[in-house]
Chains A and B, each alone.
Chain A
Amino acid sequence: MEGKIVTERLNAFFGEVHAVKNVNMAIPANAITAIIGPSGCGKSTLIRCVNRMHEVVRGAKATGKVYLDGEDIYDPETDPVEVRRKVGMVFQKPNPFPTMTIYDNAVAGLRLNGEKDWSKLDGAAEDSLRLAALWDEVKDNLGASGVSISGGQQQRLCIARALAVQPEVLLLDEPCSALDPIATAKIEDLLFDLKDRYTIAIVTHNMQQAARIADFTAFMYLGELIEFGETKRLFENPEEELTEKYITGRFG
């Protein structure tokens, strides 16, 4: 399989619960891949395995292989901290650091990497906030708290924060589920603009969202990957009966 990210017989567990079952999947570079499926189908867990965030939950573990550019990120030699610097993540609920300013939030990851040069930090803050389509709204207010802005702005700030460390992959875990339709549309436009530069995987429970923005779509059910393909083909002409049932809304 070709792809920026390839999973091979990936299994994920929470204690005894088998959340992701034997998933083989390739996420192509410079495209948006959506992962859809009903609640609890393991779609969030799957992408959390791609930056090794799954294992930070107590009692969680994963087996199998996940290749990033051909390198197995679950190799015992691989440092999860290095993986996460290459694979950024945006979460379901906006989670800017409340004790930091907008500026400090945007460059938090760079500061972690030891960047102290103010001109570089200033440049990175502006670049990442522009990329996240937030610059014009906050440029006169960079010293305000990261939680003083609206929910949609906070989520774009989190996207800026993830982009500032220049990752290769951006994972988004239902990034719009807490946002109103206008804020959602802004983030969708933004992702569309970003896909030339990044590999993007987005988990969503919103099928219309997947249909609008994704080049490829994966459908998961009860921890298994049921079907994966180009979005248009998967929605118009699903190969699996389960997929068809889900996208037509005939689901228990």
Chain B
Amino acid sequence: MRLTGKLGSGRKSRASFEDKLFKYTTMGVAAFVLALLWGLVVKLLFDAQMSIETFGFEFLTSDIWNPNKDLYTALPFIFGTLMTAAVGIGIGVPISIGIAIYLSELAPAWIREPLSFLIELLAAVPSVIYGLWAIYTLRPILTGTVEPALMDVLGWTPLFEGASFGIDKLAAGIILAVMIIPTVASVSKESMMAVPDSQREAALSLGATKYESTRMAVLSYARSGIFGAAILGLGRAVGETMAVTMTIGNANLISWSLLDPGQTMASVIANNWGEADGLMLSALVEIGVVLFIVALVINVFARLMLGRLMKAVPMTGGGL
């Protein structure tokens, strides 16, 4: 009590002023994020307004992209985005689950720790590097071996019709698979490691083999986490721009064949905004709005699936 003389109270008022300043400054910086998001959405909608008014709902359902007639619609790009993302998920998710099972259930700690670190490191590789790798390493493999083989065996299906260029939806899908593996594998691994050992023991004590107990106790218990990880990967695949733009061939074409080039929502914006103006620029911004909404919905959904597990993972909407 003796300390609360004049000196004490003086210090107290200075401290409370400092603390207030501290609190409101940080609060202001945090509010800036909200303002930024708000500004972004308003600006996007404002710039897309001309396109929205001109093309209406047909923007999403028609496949015309004709600068000469000033007609722009988005279906080929929505199609390209969905198809490349589907290939990326189809290839990337099973591999990621395999990696996660090995790391969580089978690998000894001295392998698990460094390997997990390396996999997470892959997520930090800039996507332009993946794009270059795709052009100089993946493309010769595709045209030399993989695509001719696919054409021989599955050429009769609409998915593998046509000629092999190595710059096509298959290449973009494969590069997306490579890019989502780090995220999907490490999030799946975390959700498998969160399964209590008592579940594994329950299966083993019934006479399950390691494989059976993984399937019965681990995968089913962790299924919502694994599903959330896959959706998180989907979010990344849908928004990824640079590596896809470098590998997809950039043709405004709706074709089921993975060997044909295509265009995604992200790649059409990256390819055209430089020389676009007027209605075309507005149409590109509207594609951006569609992409933004899709990515947002996917990420929010993934987050709900993952619940508490994944507070630390930033939303990966792709980007350059």
Contacts and interface: CB of A to CB of B under 8 A. Distances in A.
A88 interface: yes
Contacts of B203: 97, 108, 112
Give chain A's interface residue range (CB within 8 Å of chain B).
20 to 34
A91 B109 CA distance: 26
Interface stretch (A51-59, A194-202, A217-225): A51-59
Interface string B107-130: 011000000000000000000000
A84 B199 contact: no
Nearest to B198: A95
Given A108-B206, A109-B206, A98 B201 contact: no
A134 interface: no
B207 A84 contact: yes
A82 B207 contact: yes
Chain B binding surface, main DSSP class: helix
B223 interface: yes
Residue with the highest number of chain A CB atoms closer than 10 Å, among B199, B200, B204: B204
Contacts of A109: 206-207
Interface in A105-122: 108-109, 112-113
Contacts of B205: 51, 53, 84, 88-89, 91, 162
A108 B216 contact: yes
30 contacts: A53-B201, A53-B204, A56-B201, A56-B204, A58-B109, A81-B208, A82-B207, A84-B204, A84-B206, A88-B205, A88-B206, A89-B201, A89-B205, A95-B201, A97-B202, A97-B217, A97-B220, A97-B221, A99-B223, A100-B220, A108-B203, A108-B206, A109-B207, A112-B203, A112-B208, A113-B207, A158-B202, A161-B202, A161-B206, A165-B206
Interface of A: 51, 53, 56, 58, 81-82, 84-85, 88-89, 91, 93, 95-100, 108-109, 112-113, 158, 161-162, 165
